[in-house]
């Protein structure tokens, strides 16, 4: 339970920092926020995982990461199409 709480706290701190810097830069972009959220989630998942432990929350986190990577791929494909059409 301790790792789960630390992972959640670490991700929340990361997201608050991202939002803070986005507000300071006056550039609120949902795509950038999503990519930075995904990076933070991947780092937290790697730090919280054990090779021997297979907790239920880590299995669920893998599904969230898989969906995030899929959405990231869609964002990248749309950006490439946007560049090619310009």
Q: pLDDT tens across 72-85, in order?
A: 999 999 999 999 98
What is the per-residue pLDDT across 6-63, written as a single tens digit (0 to 9) for each?
Answer: 888 888 999 999 999 999 999 888 999 999 999 999 998 888 777 656 777 778 888 9
In whole angstroms, how far apart are CA 57 and each of 1, 13, 41, 54, 60?
A: 10, 19, 13, 8, 5
**Against a cut of 0.85, is the pTM above it?**
no
Give the CA distances from residue 77 to residues 29, 30, 36, 60, 72, in Å, rounded to whole numbers and listed in that order.
17, 16, 18, 26, 9
Domains in the chain: boundaries: 2-85
Assess contact for 44 and 10: CB atoms under 8 A: yes
pLDDT at 60: 83
């Amino acid at each position: 339970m301790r790792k789960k709480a630390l992972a959640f706290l670490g991700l929340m701190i990361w997201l608050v920092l991202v939002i803070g810097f986005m507000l300071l830069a006056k550039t609120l972009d949902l795509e950038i926020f999503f990519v930075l959220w995904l990076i933070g989630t991947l780092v937290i998942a790697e730090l919280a995982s054990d090779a021997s432990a297979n907790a239920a929350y880590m299995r669920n986190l893998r599904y969230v990461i898989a969906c995030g990577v899929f959405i990231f791929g869609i964002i990248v494909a749309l950006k490439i199409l946007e560049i090619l059409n310009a």
